[in-house]
Amino acid sequence: MLPIDAAAHSSRWRRRHPVEKALLGFGLTLCAVCLPPWPGAVLVAAATLAVLLGPAGVAGRQLWRAFRVPLGFCVTGAVPLLFEVGGARGFVALTPGGPVHAGELLLRTASASLGVLLFAFTTPVSDVLPRLVRAGVPAPVVDVALVMYRIIFLLLDSMSKIRQAQAARLGHTTRAATWRSLAGLGATSFVRAFDRAQRLQSGLAGRGYDGTLRVLVPAAAVSRRFLAAVAVLLCGLVALTLVLERFLP
């Protein structure tokens, strides 16, 4: 199981309804995208971090390990805004206003990523997918997603064991050995994926699979207090951003 999935299953908000956490996480993401980067995105990022590290109970080290990957994509997307190619000032030159645009983009995307991580750190996928059927998503699509979600962890576990076995046999001592081990890892994982899928199909057929996976969804009621608190937080962020925008340069 991935660290973010383990954190979601042990989250303080695990028993809360996914709709509550979706409104909070994606509401913050929407605010980060729609509000002005300064000071809107900064306020949204601060509020999201406060919720993650406070009421949600996410460890700071876990949050950083998960956040540094999307942050890398955010930085990669912002860097090209600093330069222009083939302009009148040379083949490669700094773009006028480029640092400002790059900083705004970085603030927006980083803040939006934190909002998505808030939902991911507090809501297991297994709690969301079965409820999508009630929301109108076709049952076969949800069933395929559930099966793929399960197989991913099995394949990751198999790949980890294969890499450990290769390392124990000195399969990573040289560059040539590393490439051979990597090729063997890919081939073995490909074969095991088909074997896992065939065994899963046989297991479902033996249990009378009729086209629908029936899973037990934990009962959870939507809290009106929580929804009210989310609405107050989002409206407060919007109002504070509009007020500060008039006074801050």
pLDDT tens column, 123-157: 888 778 777 777 777 777 877 787 787 778 778 88
- Mean pLDDT value of segment 156-171: 83
The candidate with the shortest Cα–Cα distance to 51, out of 118, 5, 120, is 118
Residue scoring higher pLDDT (101 or 197):
101
Task: Give the 3-state secondary structure of residue 13.
Answer: coil
- The mean pLDDT value for 47-54 works out to 91
Query: What is the residue-averaged pLDDT of the chain?
Result: 83
Predicted confidence (pLDDT) at residue 86 exceeds the cutoff of 80:
no
User: Is residue 128 included in any domain, yes or no?
Assistant: no
Instruction: Please tell me whether residues 176 and 57 are part of one structural domain.
Output: no
Least confident span in 18-22, 39-43, 198-202: 198-202
Indicate if 48 and 77 belong to the same structural domain.
Answer: yes
Q: What is the mean pLDDT of residues 81-88?
A: 75
Q: How many domains does the chain have?
A: 2
CA 220 to chain CA mean position, Å: 23
> Which two three-digit tokens encode residue 216?
């037990």
Predicted TM-score of the model (pTM): 0.77
Compute the C-alpha angle 54/58/64, nearest 5°.
115
Question: What gap in Å lies between CA 214 and CA 117, rounded to an integer?
Answer: 28
In a domain, 41, yes or no: yes
- Same domain assignment for residues 229 and 108: yes
Helix/strand/coil for 85: strand
> Would you place residue 81 in the very low, low, confident or very high pLDDT band (cuts 50, 70, 90)?
confident
> Is residue 233 one of the residues assigned to a domain?
yes
Question: ∠218-224-225 over CA atoms, to 5°?
Answer: 110
* Shared domain check, 225 and 114: yes
More confident residue, 240 or 249: 240
Alpha-carbon distance values, 24 to 19, 56, 89 (Å): 9, 12, 46
Whether the pLDDT of residue 227 is over 80: the answer is yes
185 and 243 share one domain: no
Confidence tier at 210 by pLDDT (50, 70, 90): low
Residues 113 and 223 in one domain: yes
236 and 195 share one domain: no
- Asked if the structure places residue 212 within a domain, the reply is no
Among 17-31, 153-167, 202-216, the range scoring the smallest mean pLDDT is 202-216
Element (H, E) at 220: none
Structure tokens given for 227: 């929804």
Give the CB-side neighbour count of residue 190, counting CA atoms within 13 A. Answer: 6
Residue 17 has pLDDT above 80, yes or no: yes
Domain around 190? 136-206
Please return the burial class of 121, using the count of CB atoms within 10 Å of its CB with bins 0-12, 13-18 and 19+. Answer: buried
Structure tokens at 157: 């576990």
Q: Are 83 and 108 in contact (CB under 8 A)?
A: no
Distance, CA of 236 to CA of 148 (rounded, Å):
40
70 with 182, same domain?
Answer: no
Does 72 share its domain with 8? yes
3-state DSSP helix/strand/coil % of the chain, to nearest 5: 75, 5, 20
Distances (CA, A) of 56 to 13, 17, 21: 6, 14, 10
| pLDDT in the model for residue 11 | 83
Kindly state whether residues 108 and 224 are assigned to the same domain: yes
Tokens standing for residue 110: 């980083």
- Residue 129 counted as domain residue: no
CA distance 24 to 38: 21
Are 57 and 176 members of one domain?
A: no
